[in-house]
């Protein structure tokens, strides 16, 4: 019951939080200069045609009325239609969200594989060589923009060495996408037993995943190191050292106690990257949700932009709920709060 209370509170707060995000996003998008009606009709459209289309789209209504109409449609599962693609926004996002989830999930998995061991080793020995390596890596990777790292990786591994495939999307033009099951080309190819397509998808993922992994590992490394350094002065570490436990066993206990902080950082990064990996998507022509949202904002495609906000906000809130559940499982003390 001590765990159920906080979880129920977060579930109850889910709808008000989502409504708050929609309200702020709706108002901000309406403040952006640009009218979708002239863009939809083209430069030769007459004033009468533009006014008629604005009335059909409800753009001539007051902002509160437009917001209420959008919320009513949203309550029925209707995110509207994108005037750029002429498809329902839900259909567009169903195609693009899995591409972003695939990229972000694998990127954060690589970031964990880099940041946690490096942060643990640096925190256990603050004056050793690994600590100096961690300082250099954190300073270098943290100071370089992610798109610059992406361009550098493309230049080295594609242009110079020829090891990586062309950065032109999720699959090479010569390879057909697998039958859609999850939306992830890699997972769908593995489910279908298509090794060639899985290798092709993995090859396209290599450089963008490496970019996200190298940049996202920095906050994970710093949090892990800071938490481990703080735990070094705790009673259980001194007791374990006094008992003569091996450094590996002591490090395992320290990592176990540092994991809740690391999980929190990873959850925050995941929610941020769902909409913040757009530069990586653009560089690698990934065709994910972030690239879709940027195009929507630039072209005053309000339904597409708001649909992106709604879906990514819901995913972010779900990720934070999962982080809370994992933290409760890892740290029994949280169940008593």
Give the pLDDT confidence score for residue 13 in this predicted structure.
Answer: 79
Q: pLDDT (tens digit, 9 = 90+) per residue, 231-273? A: 887 778 787 877 777 888 888 888 888 888 888 888 888 888 8
pLDDT at 335: 56
Structure tokens at 325: 């559940």
Please give the pLDDT value at position 334.
60
- HSE value, Cβ hemisphere, 13 Å, CA-based, for 61: 12
43, two tokens: 């430069």
pLDDT digits (tens, 9 = 90+) for 139-175: 888 888 888 899 999 999 999 998 888 888 888 877 8
Q: What is the pLDDT of residue 1?
A: 47
Residue 251 has a pLDDT of 82
Residues 6+ apart with CB under 8 A from 5: none
Q: Compute φ and ψ for 273, nearest 5 degrees.
A: -75, -20
**Distance between CA atoms of residues 121 and 224, nearest Å:** 10
- So what's the pLDDT on residue 252? 83
Q: How far apart are CA 308 and CA 317, in angstroms?
A: 14
201: nearest Cα among 183, 213, 219, 226:
183
Task: Please tell me whether residue 212 adopts helix, strand or coil conformation.
Answer: helix
User: Looking at the whole model, is its pTM more than 0.85?
Assistant: no
Cβ within 8 Å of residue 46, ≥6 positions away:
none
Q: Which domains does the chain have, with CATH numbers?
A: 4-75 (no CATH), 94-336 (1.10.3720.10)
- Within the chain, which residues score under 50 in pLDDT? 1
How far apart, in whole angstroms, are the C-alpha atoms of residue 181 and residue 227? 40
Question: Pick from 40, 319, 308, 283: which is nearest to 164 by CA?
Answer: 283
Backbone dihedral angles phi then psi of residue 256, each to the nearest 5 degrees:
-60, -40
């Amino acid at each position: 019951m001590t765990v159920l209370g906080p979880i129920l509170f977060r579930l109850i707060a889910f709808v008000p939080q989502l409504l708050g995000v929609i309200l702020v996003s709706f108002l901000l998008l309406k403040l952006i200069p640009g009218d979708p009606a002239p863009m939809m009709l083209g430069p030769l459209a007459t004033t009468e045609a533009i006014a008629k289309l604005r009335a059909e789209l409800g753009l001539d209504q007051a902002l509160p009325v437009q917001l209420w109409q959008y919320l009513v449609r949203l309550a029925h599962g209707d995110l509207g239609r994108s005037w750029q693609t002429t498809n329902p926004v839900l259909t567009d996002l169903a195609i693009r969200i899995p591409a972003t989830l695939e990229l972000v999930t694998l990127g954060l998995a690589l970031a964990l594989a880099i940041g946690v061991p490096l942060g643990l080793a640096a925190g256990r020995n603050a004056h050793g060589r690994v600590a100096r390596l961690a300082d250099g890596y954190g300073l270098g990777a943290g100071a370089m923009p992610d798109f610059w790292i992406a361009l550098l990786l493309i230049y080295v591994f594609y242009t110079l060495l020829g090891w990586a495939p062309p950065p032109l999307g999720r699959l090479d033009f010569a390879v057909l996408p697998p039958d859609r099951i999850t939306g992830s080309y890699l997972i769908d190819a593995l489910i279908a037993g298509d090794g060639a397509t899985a290798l092709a998808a993995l090859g396209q993922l290599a450089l963008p995943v490496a970019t996200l992994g190298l940049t996202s590992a920095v906050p994970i490394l710093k949090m892990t190191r800071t938490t481990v350094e703080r735990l070094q002065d705790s009673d259980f570490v001194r007791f374990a050292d006094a008992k003569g436990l091996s450094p590996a066993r002591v490090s395992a206990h320290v990592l176990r106690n540092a994991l809740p902080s690391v999980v929190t950082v990873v959850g925050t990064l995941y929610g941020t990257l769902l909409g913040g990996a757009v530069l990586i998507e653009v560089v690698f022509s990934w065709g994910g949700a972030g690239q879709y949202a940027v195009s929507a904002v630039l072209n005053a495609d309000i339904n597409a932009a708001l649909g992106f906000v709604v879906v990514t906000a819901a995913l972010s809130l779900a990720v934070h709920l999962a982080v809370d559940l994992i933290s409760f499982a890892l740290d029994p003390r949280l169940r008593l709060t």
